[in-house]
């Protein structure tokens, strides 16, 4: 299959793996964070850590929107879902995300009208077909999915729809990276930059990582060859003692990103002064809110939320895992109390979360040791 098989080719993978071994200096360790959950998933699915030298450590970052959503936001969404007559729509990943009273699937079992959609436009279409009922879209995701929410809201306004509401939980990648880089126990040497987010924002917004923090970042595709090639590019920078932003994913990402998508984002959203992240706590300027011009569709204003917040479970060490201080298996809850079918911490929630990916896909020996 084109655009897939050539990026999974065994021979190319082995060649890159040898190149990485040659580039990696035996006398030091390389702690490289892949920010995006899609990369985490690929790394485990293809067992990429197993073909890297032992002194290259891949640390799985906060780029899984489902994982970093605080429980309180899920509770607010579900409280809306259980109102009479309301149709709650969300992406498939959201269906098993627990709030304090259970998941959307549990709410559905109790009788709430919960529907899975593949695009916010489908949710808008549901609203147009059910004019007598309020339809809520639980919007989630980084700059990757935010443009489709923005375009949907622009369309809703143009059509004059009055029964469509968006509960906006869109978050921004760079404030989270900054928060990680500024934290005291930060131990990261370089970043594999998100692929899908960068199709929208381009590469320029990452420049502060190289300039202020002297860390290399390489925007990467999602196939094994992409990720290994990005690691090669990172090692070359580090060996040369430089820190730059580079783009490995040229077939999808341009330096300036997608101007039309960014325009839609600017038109519909403004930045919240702060937003709670599961595992990381409050991060300034790290999420989108819906602008006043589109307030008629803003579920927070029109349906109303109580703003409850619930702390992360005390024993779950999600924050330490995200900062690279601890590995998923080093958390006392991993695989015992905290499992994909009953997640305690944020990172066990989605298959893109570091812990869920580790639990599901890690090499047999890691799991067997537990």
Partner 1 sequence: MAKRSFTDPQITLQHGAGGEATRQLVEGLFAPAFANDTLAAMEDAAALNADGLRLAFTTDTFVVHPRNFPGGCLGSLAVHGTLNDLAVSGADPIGLSAAFVLEAGLDTSELRAQTEAMAEAARKAGVPIVTGDTKVVEHGSVDGLYINTSGVGVIRPSADLGPNRVRPGDAVLVSGPIGDHGVTILISRGEIELEADLKTDSRSVLPLTSALLDQLGSGVRWMRDATRGGVATVLNELVGGRPFGVVLEEQEIPVRDPVRGCCELLGLDPLHVANEGQFVAIVAGDRADEAIRALRNVEGGSDARIIGVVTDEHPARVVGRTSFGAKRVIDVLVGDPLPRIC
Question: Residue numbers of the site for partner 1 (CB under 8 A)?
Answer: 1, 4, 8-10, 13-14, 17, 37-38, 41, 44-48, 50-51, 65-66, 91-93, 95-96, 105-106, 108-110, 116-118, 122, 140-142, 144-145, 196, 224, 340-341, 350-352, 359-364, 367-368
How far, in Å, are 32, 184, 246, 353 from residue 210 at the CA level? Answer: 14, 18, 10, 26
In this structure, what is the dihedral angle of CA atoms 99, 105, 110, 112, given to the nearest 10 degrees? 90
- Three-state SS at 225: helix
Considering beta carbons, is residue 1 or 314 the nearer one to partner 1?
Answer: 1
- Three-state SS at 281: strand
Do 86 and 113 contact (CB within 8 A), yes or no? Answer: yes
How far, in Å, are 17, 27, 161 from residue 37 at the CA level? Answer: 22, 30, 34
Considering beta carbons, is residue 51 or 154 the nearer one to partner 1?
Answer: 51
Burial label, 241 (beta-carbon count in 10 A; 0-12, 13-18, 19+): exposed
- In whole angstroms, the minimum distance from the beta carbon of 54 to partner 1 comes to 15
Could you tell me whether strands 30-36 and 56-63 are parallel, antiparallel, or unpaired per DSSP bridges?
Answer: parallel
- In whole angstroms, the minimum distance from the beta carbon of 117 to partner 1 comes to 8
Considering beta carbons, is residue 41 or 60 the nearer one to partner 1?
Answer: 41
- Three-state SS at 144: coil
Considering beta carbons, is residue 138 or 216 the nearer one to partner 1?
Answer: 138
Do 81 and 108 contact (CB within 8 A), yes or no? Answer: no
Query: What is the C-alpha separation between 345 and 320, in angstroms, rounded?
Result: 12
Considering beta carbons, is residue 196 or 215 the nearer one to partner 1?
Answer: 196
- In whole angstroms, the minimum distance from the beta carbon of 223 to partner 1 comes to 10
Query: What is the C-alpha separation between 115 and 331, in angstroms, rounded?
Result: 34
- In whole angstroms, the minimum distance from the beta carbon of 1 to partner 1 comes to 6
Considering beta carbons, is residue 75 or 189 the nearer one to partner 1?
Answer: 75
- The pair of three-digit structure tokens given for residue 164, joined into one six-digit string: 């469509």
Sign of CA dihedral 7, 201, 168, 63: positive
- In whole angstroms, the minimum distance from the beta carbon of 212 to partner 1 comes to 28
- In whole angstroms, the minimum distance from the beta carbon of 136 to partner 1 comes to 17
- In whole angstroms, the minimum distance from the beta carbon of 138 to partner 1 comes to 11
- In whole angstroms, the minimum distance from the beta carbon of 359 to partner 1 comes to 8
- In whole angstroms, the minimum distance from the beta carbon of 166 to partner 1 comes to 15
Residue in the structure block whose two tokens are 């968006």: 166
Q: Residue 86: enclosing H or E segment and its boundaries? A: none
Considering beta carbons, is residue 13 or 153 the nearer one to partner 1?
Answer: 13
- The pair of three-digit structure tokens given for residue 24, joined into one six-digit string: 């990696």
Considering beta carbons, is residue 62 or 65 the nearer one to partner 1?
Answer: 65
Could you tell me whether strands 281-284 and 274-277 are parallel, antiparallel, or unpaired per DSSP bridges?
Answer: antiparallel
Considering beta carbons, is residue 103 or 247 the nearer one to partner 1?
Answer: 103
């Amino acid at each position: 299959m084109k655009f897939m098989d050539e990026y999974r080719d065994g021979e190319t993978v082995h060649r890159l793996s040898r190149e990485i071994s040659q580039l990696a200096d035996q006398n030091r360790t390389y702690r490289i964070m892949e920010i995006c959950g899609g990369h985490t998933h690929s790394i485990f699915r293809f067992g990429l850590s197993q073909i890297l030298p032992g002194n290259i450590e891949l640390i799985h970052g906060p780029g899984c929107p489902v994982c970093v959503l605080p429980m309180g936001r899920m509770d607010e969404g579900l409280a809306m879902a259980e109102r009479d007559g309301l149709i709650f729509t969300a992406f498939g990943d959201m269906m098993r995300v627990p709030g304090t009273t259970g998941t959307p699937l549990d709410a559905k079992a109790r009788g709430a009208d919960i529907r899975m959609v593949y695009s916010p436009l489908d949710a808008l279409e549901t609203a147009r077909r059910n004019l007598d009922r309020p339809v809520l879209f639980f919007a989630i995701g980084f700059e990757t999915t935010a443009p489709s929410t923005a375009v949907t809201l622009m369309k809703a306004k143009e059509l004059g729809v009055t029964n469509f509401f968006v509960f906006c939980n869109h978050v921004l990648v760079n404030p989270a990276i900054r928060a990680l880089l500024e934290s005291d126990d930060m131990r990261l040497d370089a970043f594999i930059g998100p692929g899908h987010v960068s199709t929208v924002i381009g590469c320029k917004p990452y420049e502060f990582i190289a300039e202020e923090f002297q860390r290399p970042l390489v925007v990467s595709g999602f196939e094994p060859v992409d990720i290994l090639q990005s690691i090669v590019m990172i090692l070359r920078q580090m060996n040369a003692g430089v820190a730059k932003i580079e783009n490995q994913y040229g077939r999808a990402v341009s330096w300036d990103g997608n101007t039309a998508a960014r325009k839609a984002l600017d038109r519909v959203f403004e930045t919240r002064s702060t937003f709670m992240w599961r595992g990381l706590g409050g991060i300034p300027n790290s999420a989108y809110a819906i602008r006043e011009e589109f307030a008629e569709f803003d579920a927070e204003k029109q349906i109303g939320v109580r703003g409850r917040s619930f702390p992360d479970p005390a024993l779950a060490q999600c924050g330490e895992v995200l900062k690279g201080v601890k590995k998923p298996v080093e958390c006392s809850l991993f695989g015992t109390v905290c499992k994909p079918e009953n997640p305690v911490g944020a990172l066990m929630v989605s298959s893109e979360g570091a812990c869920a990916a580790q639990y599901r896909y890690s090499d047999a020996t890691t799991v067997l040791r537990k």
